[in-house]
Chains A and B, each alone.
Chain A
Amino acid sequence: MNRHLISAADLSRDDALRVLDTADELARISDRPIKKLPTLRGRTVVNLFFEDSTRTRISFEAAAKRLSADVINFSAKGSSVAKGESLKDTALTLEAMGADAVVIRHNASGAPHRLAEWVRGSVINAGDGAHEHPTQALLDAFTIRRRFGRSSDGQGPGGQAGRGGTLDGLRVTIVGDILHSRVARSNVILLHTLGAEVLLVAPPTLLPVAVDTWPCSIDYDLDAALPKSDVVMMLRIQLERMNAAFFPSVREYSRRYGLDCARMAQLPERAIVMHPGPMNRGVEIAAGVADSPRSTVVEQVANGVSVRMAVLYLLLGGAEGDQ
């Protein structure tokens, strides 16, 4: 693995499987009375959040703490950033404090990439603008793999953890605001790496310019896509980013691209419904769908901690430098 995790494209197929297999083992820790491992004792993880976030920040914090790392939370509100400090100066401050890893969320695409040039520790992208959110893609892949029974549940010879499978042949449909979604971009890259066939469904106004270069296919008709989907991933309509007329009204969007119970009935029997959260119930996903047994929303949150533990362990747990 690279020293940083900035894009889902940093992960080869082997790297990605390694993260998922490690996460499979780490997930078992949460069933134990003592949910803690000493592995990252004495290491410092800084959560650097320039954008609001609850679940990602808490998830990273829980992951780092379960591995016994020291966690410093930094949010732009109430910090020197509010006084106009630049990203670089903030980075140098963190560097002086000896951060072994920086988990960064920033509203500008590419901020983690720049940060990686300034700090010695590992940089983990927790969402940058409309660019990428690789740990979300990893936890989605992890959730899919578990739901379809391809994770490493068996035990190999000699108690070596079994190797889990890829997502070969699974059809994943990602629906909604692809244009503003870092989750969609990271998922397209990672799911493709893992062998899934990805289909994007969105109104033409909500697709990014170069989407035809992405390793996926595109459709505009949700009803046609549903019967041939094993996984449907609904994206949040980011009302805070709807600064132009991307669609006539929220209600019209919901009619054409929202997943309601009638649409869910068109899915194949084993299909699952995913959502990265936070959900706009009644807009992109109906409450009946979000609370149905097909929905993995709650699992995704729980899996997020295991996957982030795996990422932190693989980036920080070993020797400095790389294999």
Chain B
Amino acid sequence: MAHAQPAGRSGSGKDTTARPVSGDGKIVLEQAEIARALTRIGHEIIERTRGARQVILLGIPTRGVPLAARLAAGIQQVEGHPVPHGSLDITMYRDDLRLRPARALGRTQVPPDGIDGQIVVLVDDVLYSGRTVRAALDALNDLGRPRAVQLAVLVDRGHRELPIRPDYVGKNLPTAQHEVVRVLLTEVDGEDAVLLGVAGDATGGRSR
């Protein structure tokens, strides 16, 4: 989501479907590394929020949602209490809606007790321009008033266009703007991997 696309390319965004990894980019994170990064983020969330008692994890579709679910499961394993998690669709809040044809909506699913007074951790796969997160903050604003909002991302690839920074990062990945980071997750793509390629060779994958 996100994203200011590399120049001249109107990226394919969230609504892409699974595609096999076949030589389009080099693997930056493998399955085990992704799992380790998520475990660490889980522990950091517990530490920073003193036990994650009042935490709600909201994933941003598409791939933020399974990440939020995995983090919730990991935290539950350590702390022994369930952590509410859901999804937050930001399509209607994007700032680039008019640049592309109207796109399909994702699902917003917020735990039944709402987000008022809770610590909301937004979860996304890649942090790039920061525009997705800005849209997510606007969307949250219409859902209630959390006590605090934090941001967890699997990959921070830099090139921010807005004053936004993550609280929890799986991996800092220095990239050039013409490069494309693709995150693959078992729940969506059938396998776990983070790939780094060059714009143009990833045909339709998740380019950002």
Contact = CB atoms under 8 A, between A and B. Distances in A.
B3 interface: no
B79 interface: no
B66 A157 contact: yes
B59 A159 contact: yes
Given A158-B61, A158-B63, A160-B61, A25 B99 contact: no
B103 interface: yes
B103 A318 contact: yes
Nearest to A39: B92
Contacts of B109: 155, 159
Among B93, B102, B143, chain A packs the most CB atoms within 10 A around the CB of B102
Contact of A323 (B64, B92, B101, B185): B101
B33 to A, nearest CB: 20
Contacts of A256: none
Interface in B60-115: 61-66, 87, 89, 92-93, 97-109
Interface stretch (A26-34, A195-203, A278-286): A26-34
Contact of B142 (A21, A22, A34, A160): A34
A18 B102 CA distance: 11
Interface in A290-322: 313-320, 322
B115 to A, nearest CB: 11
B166 interface: no
B142 A158 contact: no
B187 A157 contact: yes
B77 to A, nearest CB: 22
A220 B87 CA distance: 51
A1 B106 CA distance: 19
Contact of B102 (A33, A36, A158, A314): A314
Contacts of A76: none
B107 A155 contact: yes
B107 A159 contact: yes
A22 B62 contact: no
Nearest to B100: A319
B104 A158 contact: no
B17 to A, nearest CB: 9
Given A33-B144, A37-B92, A161 B98 contact: no
Closest 4 A/B residue pairs (Cβ):
A159-B65, A318-B102, A159-B87, A323-B101
Interface of B: 14-15, 59, 61-66, 87, 89, 92-93, 97-109, 138, 142-144, 185, 187-188
Given A28-B108, A158-B66, 8 more contacts: A22-B104, A25-B107, A157-B187, A160-B15, A161-B107, A318-B100, A319-B98, A320-B98
Interface of A: 1, 18, 21-22, 25-26, 28, 32-34, 36-39, 155, 157-162, 313-320, 322-323
8 contacts: A18-B104, A32-B143, A155-B109, A159-B66, A160-B62, A161-B107, A318-B102, A319-B99
